[in-house]
Structure 1
């Protein structure tokens, strides 16, 4: 069977979609998307990227409204919920199939201990990042196309939100296998470009701040649950090493110090001994300053219990967040630069803004 014939048969079966997985047409559809199409994809893919894999899903338990077959680097996208990948997504009505450059549209929720859909705003930021990467690459398309799966269920709709670029093949007008294979390879090269850029990036817009991800991973690891640790961090290690964290922290403290010195304050660095980073004094005015530096957009920060308690007890305080810091790793020794300074003075800590990462449980 050719790749074109397999895609066309799935589209035909889509027209008679029923959620009952044991239905003969849905069982055939499952065979096509989970076995036949992945096998057919592998030849052109592995001619360029020998270690890549292909897989598919017709649904778990019940038949999926939008079945799919994907290919990817198994290290950089170890599951359909994680990382970037290329995927055939079949329209719910069987009118078209898309070859989509897409991404994991779910994320692990530490509190719920389950996967949840990524907010569409976060997916949009990641899509914009990916398109900006490809727009500056020879491998990228000249323009980016969306996808319309005609889905009624949330899972099918979230696939659309995660799409970076889609190639549409109309039912009844599926191209030759030569053209299909050429598209498979072209999308694979775009995917490899994203993998390369992601490997160098400290932070991708739409993701949680690296400090938050690292704190969550450390908390889960300290509870000795290796399986949850892998889920919490996409199976990867810490995003920042100690030298990188230190470089970001010192750069943020430097900019925060400059701000208060420019305001006429004398500033003392107290981060090594106190639950606040800077003590700013001027005449009878004393300000306890908390400083946070991040390569992210500064929408989330990590605070300790001691920091929270101190700043609640001392309302003459300030929070300085230096976000969008750049980190140069080229020289071996990380160098932090740039960043935007945001100041909250006074800093009022709202319980609703705090999320517990882990608990200390006393056994009586």
Structure 2
């Protein structure tokens, strides 16, 4: 059976969809999407991307309304709920199958300490970022932005929100295997480009801020928890040099702001639990500075910082410099841009603080 014939066969089975796990037709569909298409994709693409893999799912337990078969770099997308990948998505009524450049639909929830579905707004932000990355790459007139899986289950709707580019094949109108192979390669090239952009990106809209992700990872590792997935299944998002460049740039902008207000400014970050000491006549302001590549909706604060600023309110301020960029031209690492947001005085709201981890002293018997 050719790839085109297999796709058509799955669509025919989709027209007879039932959630009954004992259905012989659904078991046949499961075999096709999980094994046959997987092997067909693998054989077509092995020579181009030998490290990539293919997999599929007809549903865990009960048959899924929208089955799929995907191909991906396991280093960048270790699970179908994580990272970017290319995927055949079969609509719920068997009218069409889409070859979609799509994405994982879950993210780590720090407060719940579990994975949760990304919101439609988060997926839309990530899709917008990906389309901008690929704006000069996708020249295939067959690709389009909206796919309609006609499903009632949540996962099918989330696939629609996660679609970056898609190619539609109508039932009984599946093209030749040569054209299918060309389309697989085309979407694969887009995926390859997206992986490279993700690797160099400090922050992708819709994701958690890199500082938050790194702090949680450090807390998990200290507690012996290593199962948390990171960006592309890898480690920390910011290295030491990147963090330092962002920090110094944020401090420079904050210093500039207070000097413009007539303050004398001293950098105290290396020796105190606050970053700047701003003085003007008899007035003293303790300034906390945070720099981030994200939109600045969340920051990391230490216990010492919280205690200090609670004690010295209202003689304090918070400066968050968000949307900072890094330039690596000619091997040099330079932070630039960013928008300072000043809160003065800074009254810390207890309800806005979320503990990432705790230190527990073992009672002596």
**Structure 1 length as normaliser, TM-score?**
0.95
Contact 2:77-2:233 at 8 Å conserved across structures: no
Aligned partner of 1:292 in structure 2 is 290
- Mark the CA change 1:140 to 1:47 in structure 2 (over 3 Å): closer, same or farther: farther
Number of equivalent positions: 361
Name 2:90's counterpart in structure 1: 90
1:173 maps to: 173
- Give CA-to-partner distance per residue, 1:319-353, whole Å, 9 cap, x none: 11111111123444421111111111122222332
- Alpha-carbon offset, residue 32 of structure 1: 0.5
Residues 278, 289 of structure 1: 8 Å contact kept:
yes
- The CA distance in 2 between the partners of 1:218 and 1:234, in whole Å, is 17
Task: Determine the C-alpha separation between the residues in 1 that align with 2:272 and 2:15.
Answer: 66
Task: Give secondary structure in 2 for the equivalent of 1:336.
Answer: strand
Aligned twin of 2:203: 203
**1:29-44 matches, cutoff 5 A:** 29-44=29-44
CA distance in 2, matches of 1:251, 1:106: 32
Task: Report how far residue 110 of structure 1 moved.
Answer: 4.0
TM-score with structure 2 setting the length: 0.95
Name the CA distance, whole Å, in 2 between partners of 1:199 and 1:319.
31
Query: Which ranges in structure 2 are unaligned for 5 or more consecutive residues?
Result: none
State how far apart, in whole Å, the 2-side matches of 1:66 and 1:328 are: 43
Structure 1 contact 140–190 (Cα < 8 Å) conserved: no
Looking at structure 1, the residues matched to 25 and 350 of structure 2 have their Cα atoms a distance apart, in angstroms, of 53
- CA contact under 8 A between 1:95 and 1:170: conserved in structure 2? yes
CA positional deviation for 1:123: 1.1
- Report the RMSD for the aligned CA atoms in angstroms: 1.6
Provide structure 1 residue ranges, at least 5 long, that are not aligned to the other structure. Answer: none
Distance 1:168 1:38 in 2: 19
Matched with 2:305 is: 307
Displacement after TM superposition at 1:20 (Å): 2.1
Q: 1:109 to 1:352 in 2, by over 3 A?
A: same
Question: Aligned to 1:135, what secondary structure does the other structure show?
Answer: coil
Equivalent in the alignment of 1:323: 322
Q: Residue 353 of structure 2 corresponds to which residue in structure 1?
A: 354
Alignment partner, residue 193 of structure 1: 193
Aligned-partner Cα distance in 2 for 1:51–1:232: 20
The CA distance in 2 between the partners of 1:81 and 1:54, in whole Å, is: 14
Q: Which is worse superposed, 48-57 or 348-357?
A: 348-357
- Out of 264, 267, 285, the position equivalent to 2:265 is 267
What does residue 132 of structure 2 align with? 132
The alignment partner of 1:226 has SS state of coil
Q: What secondary structure sits across from 1:231 in the alignment?
A: coil
Alignment pair present for 1:12 and 2:9: no
Aligned partner of residue 277 in structure 2, secondary structure: strand
Answer whether contact 1:106 1:118 (CA < 8 A) is retained: yes
Cα distance between partner residues in 2 of 1:234 and 1:303:
26
Q: Is the 8 A contact 1:217 1:233 kept in 2?
A: no
Checking the alignment, whether the CA contact within 8 Å between 1:93 and 1:150 is kept in structure 2 is yes
Structure-2 separation of matches of 1:7 and 1:89? 10
Aligned residue for 1:56? 56
